[in-house]
Amino acid sequence: MGLSPIGGWWMGAALAVALAAPVVAASSGTGAPDWWSPGEGKRMPAEASYDNPYGKLTVLNTTGPIETAGHPFFTPLGANGRACVTCHQPSDGMSVSAAHIQARWLETKGKDPLFAAVDGSNCPALPQDKRASHSLLLDHGLFRIFVPWPPKNADGSSLNPDFSIEVVRDPTGCNTDKTYGLKSANPMVSVFRRPRPAVNTKYLTTPDSIAGFNAKTGMPFARDPETGAFVSQELMADGRTLTLKTQAVDAGLSHLETAAPLSPAQLNAIVAFETQVYAAQSASSIGGAFAATGAPPGLGALAMAKGRPGILGNDLKTPVFQSFEVWRPKPGGPTDAGAAFRASVVRGADLYMTKTFWIRDSAHLNTVGLGNPIKRTCSTCHNAQMTGMDVAPGWMDIGTNNLPTADPLAHLPLFKVTCRKDAYPHPFLGRVIYTHDPGRALTTGKCDDVGSITMQQFRGLAARAPYFANGSAKDLMALIVYYDRRYEMKLTDQEKQDFVNFMSVL
């Protein structure tokens, strides 16, 4: 069944249209019924709910139903038959899950545009009809991201990087390929990353309303090249594009393989769609529908639509995901499985805001004047209200890419980065770094950026496993286990499960 929206709040005529429309429930699980293929032309309802392993996700269009026929987000625009929706599926929180990718491969026998050679395979040079050629996408939800080496400045000119890069291990063959590799006529570095959710974007594009400057550098935020307005630099894993519009241009040319940049009309329509669509988990398979149980005010797609971006939420007066008190157990209250689950969520929210642990050796956190180590909480870094991102540009190196802290990832390439003697080194790894993905350093060319990745929003996590930019956490428990190991949090089994339950309702 569809879920009732949370009532008692008014956003004006546009949102009233969305709330008046019926809620559409969609099947889920093995993929096909939920899948949006490019050019289908079907109507996207104002509100729809989709099953996932933890419950239901709701997608809300605040301008009402969307007629997708001819809409550039839903229409194939390039040579490979893809549209934006190919990699940003509503049922997967406007990203795409490994489970749905696998189902799509089986249903289409690998012929879906999702598996386009350009980035839906381990390398375009491989035989495209083989499952093994698409193993990173199928098994880990990873697309090939290919960036020029050396990096380019905003005006297209090459910059002089602080480091050299060598290929140590190349299981996909792409970084050593004569056409696509580092030593090709058009030198490229291929790394493999998860697609970021194209939803709740007002929170991704709004700079910190408190500081007004980039806390990572001490300088003002970067500016929109078109309008001159400050931008947050939170959109991309490596910060290589600054706005929804420039991101769409980049995605069109690379992922969709358009013959020319998208037109102003196409770009405006894509940006308009991405700025009005919201998504969040709306029901738990154990804890029940949030609206029926008296939802905490920060949960659900409607809460995302009405929330304010750019708000620092790292204290108990303005907690990151607002208050969960409505679910805190009361004397004489219910004691069924649903109530027990909701109590666990409250404990997880408390842990997120109050459990301290030592954070050490994390570039762009321990290097911004806070000390190394520092004793803080999850909300120190994941501090942006409603999303759990960072109100400052959220790139940092928490060790998911760089050795020795990265999980064993034999399926990914391994690079040796050697910093110049006159360059500022990586603050904790020195001048020689082994990494699966240099991260932001592929944009800036700076040694101290090697391995740094911009954190993603937490909303809709339940719908889009696996996690981390490199897909190294197969589920929410694996994500928590990594943090527990990396920062020696010393979580009990119950605390780990409380964290998982908490994150599953976001």
> Confidence class of residue 219 from pLDDT cuts 50, 70 and 90?
confident
Instruction: Supply angle C-alpha 265, 71, 232, rounded to 5.
Output: 60
**Contact assessment for residue 167 and residue 176, using Cβ atoms and an 8 Å cutoff:** yes
Question: Span 435-441, mean pLDDT?
Answer: 98
Question: Span 74-101, mean pLDDT?
Answer: 97
Which amino acid is residue 207, in one-letter code? Answer: P
> Could you give the count of Cα atoms lying within 13 Å of 358 in the half-sphere of its Cβ?
7
How far apart CA 145 and CA 148 sit, in angstroms, is 10
pLDDT at residue 6 above 80?
A: no
Label residue 274 left, alpha or beta by phi (over 0 means left) and psi (-120 to 50 means alpha). Answer: alpha
The H or E element containing residue 379 is helix 378-381
- Which position has the token pair 């839903």? 74
What digits encode the pLDDT tens for the residues 257-272? 999 999 999 999 999 9
How far apart CA 337 and CA 10 sit, in angstroms, is 34
pLDDT at residue 33 above 90?
A: no
pLDDT at 292: 79
**Contact assessment for residue 453 and residue 474, using Cβ atoms and an 8 Å cutoff:** no
What digits encode the pLDDT tens for the residues 91-149? 999 999 999 999 999 999 999 999 999 999 999 999 999 999 999 999 999 999 999 99
SS3 180: coil
pLDDT at 34: 84
pLDDT at 2: 27
pLDDT at residue 221 above 90?
A: no
Tell me how crowded residue 155 is: count the other CB atoms within 10 A of its CB: 6
Q: ω into residue 404 within 30 of 0, thus cis?
A: yes
SS3 391: coil
**Contact assessment for residue 201 and residue 446, using Cβ atoms and an 8 Å cutoff:** no
Please give, one letter per residue, the 3-state secondary structure of 59-122: EEECCCCEECCCCCCCCCCCCCCCCHHHHCEHHHCCECCHHHHHHHHHHHCCCCHHHCCCCCCC
Please state which of the ranges 140-144, 191-195, 369-373 shows the lowest mean pLDDT: 369-373
pLDDT at residue 13 above 80?
A: no
- Is the whole model's pTM more than 0.85, yes or no? yes
pLDDT at 209: 62
Q: What is the DSSP track for 7-62?
A: -S----HHHHHHHHSPEEEE--SSSGGG---TT--PEEPSEEEEEETTEEEEEEET
pLDDT at 121: 98
Question: Span 435-457, mean pLDDT?
Answer: 97
pLDDT at residue 84 above 70?
A: yes
How far apart CA 324 and CA 300 sit, in angstroms, is 13
pLDDT at 10: 23
